[in-house]
Structure 1
Amino acid sequence: MDTWIGLMSGTSMDGIDAVLVSFQGKAIHTYETHSSPYPEDLRKRLALASQNQASPDEVGELDTLVGTLFADVAENLIRKSSADRSSIRAIGSHGQTLRHQPSGPGRFSLQIGNPSIIAERTGVTTIGDFRSRDMAAGGQGAPLVPAFHQHFFGSETEDRCILNLGGIANITWIPSDPNTLVTGFDTGPANALMDAWCQDQTGRSYDEDGQWANEGIIDQSLLSDMLSDAYFERPPPKSTGKEKFNLEWIKTLLKRHETVRPEDVQRTLMQLSVITATRQMPQSPAMVVYVCGGGARNQPFMRELSQALSPIRVLSTAELGLDPQWVEPTAFAWLARQTMNRKPGNLAEVTGAKGPRILGAIYPA
């Protein structure tokens, strides 16, 4: 049976997740997983580059460095699994997003992590640049995981909402009625703003298990100001990133709320993520919400989410057979499979593209 590797690094820019999997019908078999954090100096350089603070030379160098790291992670995964390399059909590499600009005359989405290096170093055919074709067809280029969610997480007996809590939050609404379209879009920030504020105020790259936020209280005036951002009222299809929701966004708002304590800002940012995700979900009392992504490990965040959605059940995607950390890399392994089998990987009703498209560029072994 063919196996596939998925490589993923999200907007949080904390590191690279990798999986070795196979697919049979709606079943996923996970053979091995591997995670590797970015070196701190590289993470800082990536953060600056994502804020337009990098020259073309620096972006080119980062493309090579990140591609080399992705190749190393894939190699480590293969060694850990003792897999027969010849059975690995392809690697699907999302790359590292530096900028995502889905609107305007020069729309683009830029992921670095040179796939040629991955193919050359591993000897395995690699697929990258998944977002460009959808954007060329008029789509947002994001989110791309809803097609995977629909295929593997769809149910004939319950409406399901898959909530991915990465740097940015996105939802996939999968109704049990097969005649109702799947919908999906970015709801706004999940961890991105909390991570940025924590780094700025404490020097820590993230608020482990939401402990710092737990020390604060929600500032209702600041929260109302945050919620007034037009993005939250914009109808889908829509997608966003740290180009929009970043430290500068927070500091601009705080000019009108200068007396709010840092820990209260953090607590308010958590509530912002909870409210914007839950308010934009379709209203279905029979639905179940399944959470994936790094935010699923933030227990205070999960408690607030459950309270906001009560009596709707909030569960982990582990209940569907896939650990929250590995949903996205598995999705890109599946997208690689779609590409190699000449099948579409997007959902046009989600991204706004003119129709289904085969995604990605193939870099042969």
Structure 2
Amino acid sequence: MPLYVGLMSGTSVDAIDCALVSCQGCEAEVLTTYEYPIPQRLKNEIAALSQPGANEIERMGVLDRELGALFASAALSLLKNAHVDPGEVAAIGTHGQTIRHRPASVTENTQPGFTLQIGDPNTIAETTGITTVADFRRRDVAAGGEGAPLAPAFHAATLSAEGVNRAIVNIGGIANVTLLEGSELLAGFDTGPGNTLLDHWIQENRGEECDRGGRWSAAGNIDEQLLKRLLNHPFFTLTGPRSTGKEAFNLPWLKKLLVQSTAITPGDVQTTLVEFTAKSIALAIKHHALLPTEIFVCGGGAHNTHLMQRLAVHAEPARLDTTAALGLDPDWVEAAAFAWLACQTLTSSAGNAPVVTGAAGERILGGIYPGGEPTRGAS
């Protein structure tokens, strides 16, 4: 089967996930993977650009090129480690880095919805010499959709099973769920925050990148009043296709709610945030007509033992496991999804699922940036 590279950097901005995938039709096999670091300076600039600020166009233009070069290096490092020549790869599918996500469900039709990812695909194609497919989300938005989540179509193609009702839950910075009745994709939507608030809170209070294994949160207590205020966010009243991002769930928003919780300890805040993530995921699943008997988790949240324990409690009686039980490592599902989406684009096949995003119909997603002889030392 043809080879594709999938590149993914999510809302957590922890690293670029790279996957070499053989793809054809509904078949996708992850052959090798690589985690490419993002320098702290670029992480800081991504975080700054994700919020309104001065001189945004200039800063975005520079960061777009820098991230394009970084994504290109990530792809080439993956191939070097796999001993695969770039000429053997049909295409790179790159998600890019989201710096703003304002879909129609958030703007409430007062202005056109939009989503914006950067990481210049021209630079990637020029540096690697590999045809690059990028900007997957905006065609769906143009067709009236949310532009997210896009992984459910991949989940349906690769992780479904006849006669079984399944939910695939991706817990990245933002969490989303895919609901499958046999091989039929019934729904998919963002459920709310995944790791983003957890990561930001521990970074601010303990200087740690993340709460590994959920050890800090497991030692605290749930503050029921704070949990209630968290769940009162207007996002949770939205029905039908919905998506969200750090624009809605961020540290300043959390701190506003904490003004009413002066006696709460930082550790109890972390514990309550875990409960918030677990409960919002479980409630989103239970509000749908499909009652899955199996729930499989992917993304960084799959490694948070405390979060998985709380999700298992709220998901009962469904069985909870990670996608490793289905043969796909939970760390690489999204990178594999963008390799698959690139394959869909190059074979003129739809990449979106209107039942998920609310788009007017199926669409071929992304722009194609042809490869060629790489420019050495491109910058």
Normalising by the smaller structure, the TM-score range is over 0.9
1:124 to 123, 130, 134: 130
Asked if structure 1 preserves the Cα contact closer than 8 Å seen for 2:99 and 2:118, the reply is yes
Match of residue 170, structure 1, among 176, 190, 194:
176
Residues 11 and 97, structure 1, Cα contact 8 Å, conserved in 2:
yes
Instruction: Supply the distance in 1 between the matched residues of 2:46 and 2:233 (Cα, whole angstroms).
Output: 26
* Equivalent-residue separation in structure 2 for 1:63 and 1:160 (angstroms): 38
Q: Does 1:193 align with 2:197?
A: yes
Task: Name the structure 1 match of 2:329.
Answer: 323
Residues 319 and 25 (structure 1), Cα distance of their counterparts in 2 relative to 1, 3 Å cut: farther
- Alpha carbons 1:48, 1:54 under 8 Å: kept: no
User: Comparing 202-211 with 355-364, which one deviates more in the overlay?
Assistant: 202-211
Residue deviations 1:222-264, cap 9 Å, x none?
1111111121121120000000000011011111112111111
SS of the counterpart of 1:28?
A: strand
Instruction: Select the residue among 314, 336, 340 that pairs with 2:342.
Output: 336
* Residue 24 (structure 1) shift: 4.3
Q: Deviations over 1:79-123 (max 9, x none)?
A: 111113222110000000011000231321110100011101111
- 1:28-72: CA deviation from partner (whole Å, max 9, x where unpaired): 322221101211121112111112235221111111111111000
SS in 1 for 2:58: helix
Confirm or deny that 1:276 pairs with 2:280: yes
Tell me the distance in 1 between the aligned counterparts of 2:210 and 2:357.
30
SS in structure 2 at match of 1:225: helix
Aligned to 1:295, what secondary structure does the other structure show?
A: helix
| Equivalence for 1:309 | 315
CA distance in 2, matches of 1:84, 1:15: 23
Cα distance in structure 2, aligned partners of 1:206 and 1:133 = 34
Per-residue CA deviation, residues 311-340 of structure 1 (Å, 9 max, x unaligned), is 210011111111001100000000000100
Q: TM-score when scaled to structure 2?
A: 0.93
Taking the TM superposition and a 5 Å limit, the aligned residue runs for 1:13-92 are 13-24=13-24, 26-53=26-53, 55=55, 56-92=57-93
Matched, 1:243 2:247: yes
Residue 206 of structure 1: how far off its partner (Å): 1.7
- State the distance in 2 between where 1:41 and 1:286 align: 43
Matches of 2:155 and 2:292, distance apart in 1: 19
> Separation in 1 of the partners of 2:289 and 2:170?
18
Q: Compute the displacement of 1:25 (Å).
A: 5.0
**Contact kept? 2:200, 2:251, Cα under 8 Å:** yes
In the alignment, what sits opposite 2:96? 95
SS of residue matched to 2:264: coil
Q: Residues 202 and 270 of structure 2 are in contact (CA less than 8 Å); yes or no, is this contact kept in structure 1?
A: yes
Counterpart position of 2:376: none
Query: Where in structure 2 are there 5+ consecutive unaligned residues?
Result: 372-379
Identity of aligned residues (%): 47
Where does residue 182 of structure 1 map in the other structure? 186
Q: Is the 8 A contact 1:95 1:112 kept in 2?
A: yes
**Residues 1:285 and 1:101: Cα distance change in structure 2 (over 3 Å):** closer
Q: TM-score, normalised by structure 1?
A: 0.96
Distance 1:54 1:47, change over 3 A: farther
Q: Which amino acid aligns with 1:262?
A: P
Equivalent position SS for 2:12: coil
Show the counterpart of 1:5.
5
Aligned with 1:140 (options 142, 146, 149): 146
Is the Cα contact below 8 Å between 1:171 and 1:187 reproduced in 2?
Answer: yes
- CA shift at 1:286, angstroms? 5.2
Distance 1:249 1:101 in 2: 17
- For residues 49 and 205 of structure 1, the distance between their equivalents in structure 2, rounded to whole angstroms, comes to 20
Shift of 1:177: 7.0
Number of aligned residue pairs: 363
Matched-pair contact (CA < 8 Å) for 1:170–1:185: yes
Q: Which stretch shows the higher mean deviation, 40-49 or 111-120?
A: 40-49
Take 1:285 and 1:102, find their aligned partners in 2: how far apart are those partners? 28
Q: State the 1:215 CA deviation.
A: 2.2
- Counterpart AA for 1:70: F
Separation of aligned partners in 1, 2:182 and 2:334: 22
Pairwise CA distance, 1:346? 0.3
